[in-house]
Amino acid sequence: MDKAANILHALLQRQIKKHFPDGIKNASFEKLLIEISETYRWYERDKALSDHAYAISEKEYQAVLKSLQSKNELISQSIQQLKEHILHIDPQASINSSSESDSILATIDYLGALIEQQKKLEEENRLAKEVAESAAKVKSEFLSVMSHEIKTPLNAIIGLSHLLMQQSFPPEQTKNILTLHTAAENLLNLINDILDYGKIESGKISLNFKPTDIRNLLNHVRNTHLFKAQEKQNNIKLLIDEDLPEWVLCDEVRLNQIMHNLVSNAVKFTSQGNITISATVERETDQTICIAFSVKDTGIGIPADKQSIIFERFTQAEADTTRRFGGSGLGLSIVRSMLELFNSQIHLKSEPNKGAEFYFSLELEKDQASTAKQAGGFSAKNTLDLSGVHVLIVDDIAFNTMVAEQMLANANATSNHAINGAEAIEKIKHAQYDLVLMDIQMPVMDGLEATQQIRAFNQTIPIIALTASSEPEVITETKDSGMNDFLMKPFNPNDFYALIYQYTKGNRN
């Protein structure tokens, strides 16, 4: 009994004592009572735990409920702000609804439609970009072909007129030859402006710094415009600082283009006056030099209110300027864009009827190596002698070959020619040449492929590309194929001779 009593709940024990003071006599009943009491054995503890759990659950429930309410309020505010922004962007957006849930769904539907619309626009933009890139490629190819087709005959005209000017003719014929040469060079400058305009728009123009004789360049610019200036009874003066070094590293083609445009304008707008071209040293170090260039005239001048617009493309100071003086309206725009490539700017000082002065400065590196190499060697001012130099001319255009052959003969060099790359390969395999002048565009085999095959068995022979294209990718292709250098058609005779001298006699010194 005591053992059974020990496992009874305290409350049950008290009840048994109260109602059964003498104890329970029936063992079966006692056993049944004990079994029933097992159910309540941990009653007080379980009740305390249950109460505690309920209190905690209620607290957590209130916290969760409060958090949900806060989140719901934040979501509602966010959706409202989102709707306000959408309506601000698109007042016609159908996102208002009577219930909040419908409003959310309407907003989601609207955003879904907006995303689909954005994807559609992106796809349209992608297709438009592909069309634009394709059009740009076609345009680039067209310009390259046109450049080749136009400059190839110009190369012959300029080359032949140069050869003719080396000979003696009666004064009237000499004048005609000079006129022909000047007209051809002016036409070349105009063509370069038109072709470069497209490249400037697409950002495809880059500078190519090479050893440049500034004095020779400016003399050439003056001589090109001298005949036209004399027709208008103008004098062209050239002032060059004595401290200017003979050789600097510069993009000769682009600087030449800049100066030609400025001098052409000065001649165009001046009659019975003076044009002064000058180059002076502003400052220098052992490695660099800053040169100030100026083209000044005594012509019609430019009103102050027109001085900013004349640098815009296709724009001239007055509406009837083209009718009165001619011109494309591209020259000064080209000048400004070219100088930006040099990290420089064009400046202007002018008054109506008092002339105009265009000026700029270029920070350039001195070319000590060329100065040392050219001392006692080739110079445009010296009589050129290429005796002993044997050149292979590779070109399918007969008059280009004829001009190159005559220019080489005038310098005492000998030459042979091939009409395509395949023929050039065979000639180089069976004969000794000091240099190859290689055209790029030819039938049967072009110059690039021919050069690659030549380099497979001859790594040393200098190969100079002859190309009418100034596209950067074309110049890169010539170098990648194994060519040593390039000449732009129509080429300046002095550049022609200087490059041949550099890769033949120059390398022997």
Q: For 251-265, how does the pLDDT look when each residue is reduced to its tens digit (9 = 90+)?
A: 888 898 899 989 988
Residues 185-198 have a mean pLDDT of 76
Residues 259-285 have a mean pLDDT of 93
Residues 8-37 have a mean pLDDT of 63
pLDDT for residue 337 is more than 80: yes
User: What is the pLDDT at residue 9?
Assistant: 54
pLDDT for residue 5 is more than 70: no
Question: Which of 21-35, 69-83, 356-370 has the highest mean predicted lDDT (pLDDT)?
Answer: 356-370
**Structural domain boundaries in the chain:** 2-38, 206-375
User: What is the pLDDT at residue 25?
Assistant: 61
Q: For 166-191, how does the pLDDT look when each residue is reduced to its tens digit (9 = 90+)?
A: 788 888 888 888 888 878 877 887 77
Question: Which of 323-327, 395-399, 418-422 has the highest mean predicted lDDT (pLDDT)?
Answer: 418-422
Q: For 463-501, how does the pLDDT look when each residue is reduced to its tens digit (9 = 90+)?
A: 999 887 766 677 888 899 999 998 888 877 878 888 899
pLDDT interval class at 326 (50, 70, 90): very low
**Burial per residue of 409-438, b for 16 or more beta-carbon CB atoms within 10 angstroms, e otherwise:** ebbebebebbbbbebbbeebeeeebbbbbb
User: What is the pLDDT at residue 441?
Assistant: 86
DSSP assignment of 451-500, as one string? HHHHHTT-SSS-EEEEES---HHHHHHHHHHT--EEEESSPPHHHHHHHH
Quote the CA–CA distance of 220 and 502 in Å, as a whole number: 21
Edge to edge, the sheet with strand 463-467 lists 414-418, 390-394, 435-439, 463-467, 485-488
Q: Quote the tokens at residue 290.
A: 């800053």
User: What is the pLDDT at residue 267?
Assistant: 92
pLDDT for residue 305 is more than 90: no
Q: Quote the tokens at residue 323.
A: 């009718």
CATH class of 206-375: alpha beta
**Strand, helix or coil for residue 314:** coil
Which amino acid type is present at position 408?
Answer: L
Quote the CA–CA distance of 40 and 46 in Å, as a whole number: 9
Listed range (244-248, 367-371, 393-397) with the worst mean pLDDT: 367-371
How big is the chain, counted in residues?
A: 509
pLDDT interval class at 380 (50, 70, 90): very low
User: What is the pLDDT at residue 377?
Assistant: 45
Quote the CA–CA distance of 177 and 377 in Å, as a whole number: 30
pLDDT for residue 348 is more than 50: yes
If you average pLDDT over every residue of the chain, what do you get?
80
Which amino acid type is present at position 91?
Answer: P
User: What is the pLDDT at residue 198?
Assistant: 66
Please report, for residues 172, 220, 493, the alpha-carbon distance to residue 180 in angstroms, rounded to integers and kept in the order given. 12, 16, 16
CB-based contacts of 220, cutoff 8 Å, min separation 6: 256, 492, 494
Report the percent of the chain where pLDDT is more than 70.
78
pLDDT for residue 8 is more than 60: no
Q: Quote the tokens at residue 296.
A: 């000044």
User: What is the pLDDT at residue 322?
Assistant: 45
Give the number of other Cβ atoms within 10 Å of residue 391's Cβ.
22
Report the percent of the chain where pLDDT is more than 90.
28
Please report, for residues 48, 293, 307, 317, 489, the alpha-carbon distance to residue 361 in angstroms, rounded to integers and kept in the order given. 96, 6, 19, 24, 28
